[in-house]
Structure 1
Amino acid sequence: MRTAFVAGSLAAVLAAGACTSSGSPPRAPTLIPTAPAETQRSSTSPSPVAPPSASASPPASPTAGPTGDGRERSDPAFIDALFETDFDGRDLRLGREGGSTDAYRQYFVTYRGDGLRISGRINIPRGSGPFPAVVLAHGYVPLEQYTNGATMLRERDHLARKGYVTLHIDYRNHAQSDDDPDNGPNLRIGYTVDAVNAGLALQQLDAVDPDRIGIIGRSMGGGVVYGALVAVPGLFKAGVAYSPVSSDTVDNFNRWVRRDRDRGGDARAVLRRLGAPERAPRTWARTSPRTYFDRITDPILIHHGTDDEDCPIRWSEETVTALKQAGKKVTYHVYSGERHTFTSQWPLSIRRTEAFLDTNLR
């Protein structure tokens, strides 16, 4: 049974302003508390940077113990652990309305998966559905500063006005989402689980066409996009990454975690289990989406600025090279002079994103 997409206290209003595909008023779920010059590099001409050799078919890690049937058990930080995961996104519920416009209605939302309740914000276009949808995976914000639906407001507003349901997820440990104390020591792989479960939860929403769901990630969320496309091929029919982190997890670990005193406990826990990346490259390859790019079945769009001060553009160049070597469909746009957050050239980038989604989700 797919979940209806309106809050009960607003049923009368929504009956006039937003209908299901059958034209009848939708059912009401249980209310929950709130809580300028640019250069394009096409997919045929990425920078000639080879991916690390560790990306080729790594063996079972010595840190993974045998299971009862003799197979090797994946460490929870390994990407291949996602292949063994029983994704169970469900029970998407709309809470209080806030921030609605003449083009869409916006709600606080929660869904369940991996034993957790995850919060977020959903925009649902007015009118008759079902609509295509996108999961929005945000970048890094310190947990103590993050609030529900705090980021990616531009993408949410633009795409909802163009007829897309947008589900901006808070991730575990963020806002009103449940806590997962192991997420840091597991290299935040739980964020990818949350994104996949969000896609599955959207499939059960009456407002959404279950066969037309994509995913967009910014910065850290770009890594979530890579992981989600690898974890469950075909769930997301298109992926978009803005200013993404590296698809080689070692790059991200060394830049942000390894020598950060505030994350020293996470770093020690990971190094104790997996060893140092320079001493155990084959083990660490199993933590990287790039290693498993051969699993991807759907197209990817990557935006990156030449002056990105947080995520070096060479990371995307290496990712594009690896995707093409795996025979995947990738479109790569480079923005001269653009920094990490995309300001002056954001209108161009969102038009390209919209066109990409229209091609693959309409």
Structure 2
Amino acid sequence: MGATNLGARPGSTGSFRGIFLMRYFMRSAFVGALLASAPAMAEAPPVSAYGNLPDITAMDIAPDGSRLAAAMTLKGAPTVVVWDSTGKPLVALPAGEAKIRDVQWVGPGHLVVRASQTTAVPAEFRRLRYEAFGSIVLDVDKGTTKQIFEGDQSKLKLTFGHYGMRQIDGKWNLFVSGQGLDREFGNTGYVLNGRTSPGLFKIDVAAMKEKQVATGGDQGEWATWLVDAAGNVGAKLAISNQGGIWRIENSAKKKIVSGVAPDGNVDLVTLGYDGNSVIYSLAPIGSEVQWMEVPLSGGTPKPFLENVPVNRIYRHPVTGSMLGYLEDGKAFPKMADPAIEQTMQQLAASFLGRHPRLEGISPDLTKFIVHTSGNKDSGSWYLIDTVSMNANILGRDYPAISNEAVGPVRIVRYQAADGLQMDGVLTLPPGREAKTLPVVMLPHGGPYSHDTTNFDWWAQAYASRGYAVFQPNFRGSTNRDLAFQRAADGEWGRKMQSDISDGLAELAKQGIVHPRRACIVGGSYGGYAALAGVTLQKDIYKCAVAVAPVSDITDMLIKDDLSMFFGKVGRDSIDRNFGPRSTWSQVSPRDHAQQANAPILLIHGKDDSVVPIYHSTSMKAALERAGKPVELVTLDGEDHWLSTSATRQKMLEAAVAFVERHNPAD
């Protein structure tokens, strides 16, 4: 475990006894065609056009290239759609109450849908709710579905990760991690044994038969794996949560490398280009992330891609071996095959000014699914055929938002008060002069993430209403080196906060925005920053909108108990990130409610399992006791990620209306 990150999925479900509940998908007729282009619009789209979930959230291509599948939003409902290579729809399956997170082909006839639901946690655990993830296998030809581990009382009906598909003896298999149970003594039921972390299972998707192929870590350890081309466990990493002692084993269970990572920052990256080595990452305290490569047979680890900032790794979809990588700031990936790399360069040139991203690759490396977004593009999906050199558009994320309605986006660089170099993403209202504009400061969540010039529905919604929007990559953001990220240690509510207002000052200095016409808006950590902007800081913002915000640091770290799953490694990370417990109240907005100097809107999902809703209800109560203006909007059935259309619409409409009321654009 590294830094505390609110935007990440909860780190452990190993001590959870609940069962993943999901309605079966029901077969239905295909209810609509993918839109190839967006209509031209003279006026700004309604706010609802931005609040909708994207029409397409994930897509994959079958191994033989004959079929495509997508996770879509049709009439506000999450739906899995499958069609053949000619565009003929084969099936559309509504997901009911489940939230589709990903789709993955396992062979040409079976599609695996990864989905989640917010689930109540047994009373003995501190968290009231947890986001439970499960995997459902769809037999496309038969139209039947079955959940992995369904009907097996000896395992939780949960999957904790996918580790690739492999064809073994003519059969297609999916590798997932799952948690076994022990038979309860003197009873017919099963319970968690508490001794092992999730293990690795091979799932024959046609027969729906499972086989455990690797155990988890020993007691107090967590494990992860890489599966080789033959379907064997090529490498296993196990790490102790009581000191960070780690080891990597090969398929013969021989230890090939080991070490100590006190903050838990060690991970498997991928198998090497030829599949005979393993690449792993290390981030020693005070040092940059290092990638190392060691032969699976054993040997001396050597640096891999030394001093190259890697954004993404590409793997072969069937063998798992490395195909190439994308370097930060580059438009196209570096591939092992020069011919494929040349094709990627041609693709990048075709999408100049946008951000192309590979989302699916056929095993013969001739067909690619590419997603683009950015200036003049609210999100588009393409199927690229490198044999015919055709690029066919498959659909758009936001078809109601025309290219002309996308506000221009660019990077603005500035300097923090202590001299640290910063940057942020500036979105301008379409067709409006960039001069003394009202502004919405929109710090990202995480906080260990960063914003880019990709299409951002929240920023574009405000821009469409006449606001400049600035998304500062404050210290701790992940778009720079480790020193920049470590500069955030102990700086919640301090320099991380002033980095945001320093960005506002720079925009005002350039004449782009009016310094007295600013509101601050954000979600998760960004929601915390919004609250801090009008409690810990003074007279900078005219209003604040905080979505799923942390309002009290002590509650987040103790009552929410973010370290409960991570032992000493987690506690050490918290100490480094936040400093002594005696100082936490100094940067907790709830403890400074009486200092609030602008109206505040709180918005929170009732099913939030990352930042529980009491962070907002208790903040509202504290503000009301202090006689400060505050409103609270609750979202029924919503989680931390605004995963459903109706509640995301409600959030955005309330947030935009609040800013328009307290900081009008005109």
Map of 1:73 onto structure 2: none
Map of 1:355 onto structure 2: 657
Larger helix fraction of residues = 1
Q: Of the candidates 420, 438, 441, which is equivalent to residue 132 of structure 1? A: 438
> 2: distance between equivalents of 1:193 and 1:203?
15
Cα distance change of structure 1 residues 182 and 110 upon mapping to structure 2, 3 Å threshold: closer
Q: Of the candidates 112, 117, 120, which is equivalent to residue 415 of structure 2? A: 112
Moved more, 231-240 or 97-106: 97-106
Cα distance change of structure 1 residues 152 and 329 upon mapping to structure 2, 3 Å threshold: farther
SS of structure 2 residue aligned to 1:203: helix
SS of structure 2 residue aligned to 1:168: strand
Amino acid at match of 2:574: A
Map of 2:267 onto structure 1: none
Superposition RMSD on alpha carbons, in Å?
2.8
The Cα shift of 1:227 comes to 1.4
Q: Is the 8 A contact 2:410 2:425 kept in 1?
A: yes
Amino acid at match of 1:333: V
2:604 equivalent to 1:304: yes
Map of 2:252 onto structure 1: none
Map of 1:100 onto structure 2: 375
Cα distance change of structure 1 residues 151 and 356 upon mapping to structure 2, 3 Å threshold: farther
SS of structure 1 residue aligned to 2:509: coil
> 2: distance between equivalents of 1:190 and 1:207?
24
Map of 1:267 onto structure 2: 574
SS of structure 1 residue aligned to 2:514: strand
SS of structure 1 residue aligned to 2:587: coil
> 1: distance between equivalents of 2:542 and 2:455?
20
Indicate the structure whose relative CO is greater, using CA pairs within 8 Å and at least 6 residues apart.
1
Map of 1:248 onto structure 2: 552
Amino acid at match of 2:468: V
SS of structure 2 residue aligned to 1:311: coil
Identity %: 25
2:467 equivalent to 1:192: no
2:624 equivalent to 1:321: no
> 1: distance between equivalents of 2:535 and 2:652?
24
**Equivalences for residues 196-275 of structure 1 within 5 A:** 196-245=501-550, 247-254=551-558, 255=560, 258-259=563-564, 260=566, 263-269=570-576, 274=580
The Cα shift of 1:213 comes to 0.6
2:346 equivalent to 1:346: no
Larger Rg: 2
The Cα shift of 1:361 comes to 0.9
The Cα shift of 1:177 comes to 4.8
SS of structure 2 residue aligned to 1:225: helix
The Cα shift of 1:222 comes to 1.1
Q: Is the 8 A contact 2:536 2:587 kept in 1?
A: no
The Cα shift of 1:188 comes to 6.7
Amino acid at match of 1:100: N
Larger strand fraction of residues = 2
The Cα shift of 1:292 comes to 1.9
SS of structure 2 residue aligned to 1:341: coil
Q: Of the candidates 159, 166, 182, which is equivalent to residue 469 of structure 2? A: 166
Map of 1:64 onto structure 2: none
Amino acid at match of 2:602: I
Deviations 1:330-355 (A, max 9, x none): 11101111111113211222111111
> 2: distance between equivalents of 1:349 and 1:186?
29
Map of 1:71 onto structure 2: none
SS of structure 2 residue aligned to 1:111: strand
Deviations 1:256-294 (A, max 9, x none): 6655455543434579x63xx5xx5xx543232222222
Deviations 1:177-217 (A, max 9, x none): 57153522445743212222222223223231222111111
The Cα shift of 1:251 comes to 1.3
The Cα shift of 1:130 comes to 3.0
The Cα shift of 1:252 comes to 1.8
Amino acid at match of 1:350: L
Deviations 1:146-165 (A, max 9, x none): 45428992211111111110
Q: Is the 8 A contact 1:173 1:180 kept in 2?
A: yes
SS of structure 2 residue aligned to 1:319: helix
Map of 2:457 onto structure 1: 154
Moved more, 300-309 or 174-183: 174-183
> 1: distance between equivalents of 2:586 and 2:455?
30
SS of structure 1 residue aligned to 2:594: helix
> 2: distance between equivalents of 1:152 and 1:291?
36
> 1: distance between equivalents of 2:618 and 2:533?
19
Cα distance change of structure 1 residues 262 and 100 upon mapping to structure 2, 3 Å threshold: farther
